[in-house]
Structure 1
Amino acid sequence: MAGHNKWSQIKRKKGALDAKRSKVFTKLIKEITVAAKVGGPDPDGNPRLRLAIQLSKAANMPKDNIERAIQKGEGTDGDYSAVTYEGYASNGVAIFIECLTDNINRTVQNLRTIFNKGNGSLATNGSVEFLFDRKGVFVVRRNPDQALPDEELTLELADGGAEEVEMEEEYITVYCAMEDFGAMQKKLEELQLDLESAELQRLPHTTVTVEDPEAVRKILALLDALEDDDDVQKVYHNLELSEEVMDVLQAQ
């Protein structure tokens, strides 16, 4: 799992400087609205909403924005449809996209335009989904005052359902089975760890390595354009970057 995720780790370490704050807020507001509509407006009884609020606060979203999004979910104007799309970038890189939209025709047209401009193509449903496994992925920011040594912490996390734990200098990434997501979230809360993100992701079990830095740059530009669309919540892919290509990209 570690290899394919390196580019997202690089972007995370570089910080949110490359992200557009308004886009981040748009996606979080949609998630809050849908979570409130599906599971109710009380975060204590709605784990999805509680997590969405936590992530919104971490992104410094104003409290008023959060409350309005919850109210919208309670009303009749929060009717977003959850839809998924599949496609390919150049070099056979598979892409799976999760969207929340109030206008499916607009969404599919926007995605088609982005793929065409990025030398990719939309594919039929089922063409890509089988290449990914759904896993719970938790990113924890390290705390200098962390009481447990890494070895003991890993054992505690495994007790909560962790299948894999990646220890980095600033972050700890925890992977678990989709059905263990709730138990893992509860375990992290019990350990009082500084949770930066928690989500169900689609992780590829087969990857594509592209060695040409220019080709990789174009694929990443396509992925960024997809992520930048207001209707897109998540973009998953099976591109794996070699150390050499990452060095070139980081140097530029």
Structure 2
Amino acid sequence: MAGHSKWANIKRQKARVDALKGQIFAKFSREMIVAARTGLPDPAGNFRLRTAMEKAKAAGMSQENIERAIAKGAGLLGADADSLEAVRYEGYALGGVAVLIEALTDNRNRTAGEIRAAFNKYGGNLGETGCVGWMFAQVGWLEMPGVTSEDDLLAAAMQVPATGYEWEGETAALVTEPLDLERVAAALQDQGYRVGAAMTRWQPTMTVAITDADWGRQVLRLLEGLEDLDDVQTVSANFDMDERTLVACMGN
């Protein structure tokens, strides 16, 4: 499996979530602020807000902080939320691996400078908008933590229906058209399935095979460095890596 899913599995193996909990909460807060600002501040009528809240709760964010973020987005705590805007950055990691970054920022110059510095540090290059976007397609992504076999996942995909599914390690997920995400999530829940993360994501349409551990290590360090930035919300990449190379990368 390539790109986003591979990177997500690597992050789970590295177990960095607890150490970065404060930073992750800040990212969730920004997502809820923008979701509440651009739609209804009521999660019952705002799917984006509802899914952001569910992710925040799953990570252990307090109800008080969730409510504060929603209130900011609704304009009840001043106009600070108005300065946040969604920006996409694109570039190449070492060896031509395409990287697509989504950020929420109140200062484009600061964010661009931090992202460019991360690329430069790990042998990559920040490019112009559109330079790698054509190598990704936006899809709906629904993780299904209660599904324990590929046969069950396939059965769920056929019932909904979904456009595809992905199964690797602990990750079972259905792929949908982005506009169908909310409808498919509701259909799955109606059929008794438990739905975990529900989001749109960038899925690579072509991949670069990383077969050298030193190369892979540089790419992973860049992705980590980008995700450590406060303004960055998501990072997607179009690499693939076999298990032996991945183990070698994780060893150092």
Secondary structure, in 3 states, of the residue corresponding to 1:107?
helix
Question: Does 1:235 find its partner at 2:239?
Answer: no
Q: Is the 8 A contact 2:2 2:204 kept in 1?
A: no
Question: Does 1:55 find its partner at 2:55?
Answer: yes
Q: Is the 8 A contact 1:135 1:175 kept in 2?
A: yes
TM-score, structure 1 as length reference: 0.89
User: Equivalent of 1:136, from 140, 150, 160?
Assistant: 140
**Take 1:122 and 1:161, find their aligned partners in 2: how far apart are those partners?**
38
Q: Is the 8 A contact 1:142 1:171 kept in 2?
A: no
Structure 2 spans left out of the alignment, 5+ residues: none
Question: Does 1:212 find its partner at 2:216?
Answer: no
Cα offset, 1:61, TM superposition? 0.3
Alignment of 1:193-204 (within 5 A): 193-204=193-204
Secondary structure, in 3 states, of the residue corresponding to 1:193?
coil
**Take 1:244 and 1:21, find their aligned partners in 2: how far apart are those partners?**
30
Question: Does 1:100 find its partner at 2:104?
Answer: yes
Secondary structure, in 3 states, of the residue corresponding to 2:130?
coil
Secondary structure, in 3 states, of the residue corresponding to 1:194?
coil
Cα-Cα RMSD: 2.1
Cα offset, 1:67, TM superposition? 0.5
**Take 1:49 and 1:41, find their aligned partners in 2: how far apart are those partners?**
8
Alignment of 1:10-159 (within 5 A): 10-12=10-12, 15-17=15-17, 20-75=20-75, 76-79=79-82, 80-142=84-146, 151=151, 154-159=154-159
Tell me the number of residue pairs that the alignment of Structure 1 and Structure 2 aligns.
Answer: 247
How has the CA–CA distance of structure 1 residues 16 and 156 changed in structure 2, closer, same or farther, with 3 Å as cutoff?
same
**Take 2:245 and 2:80, find their aligned partners in 1: how far apart are those partners?**
46
How has the CA–CA distance of structure 1 residues 120 and 171 changed in structure 2, closer, same or farther, with 3 Å as cutoff?
closer
TM-score, structure 2 as length reference: 0.89
Secondary structure, in 3 states, of the residue corresponding to 2:140?
strand
**Take 2:15 and 2:187, find their aligned partners in 1: how far apart are those partners?**
27
**Take 1:38 and 1:68, find their aligned partners in 2: how far apart are those partners?**
16
- % of aligned pairs identical? 38
Secondary structure, in 3 states, of the residue corresponding to 2:23?
helix
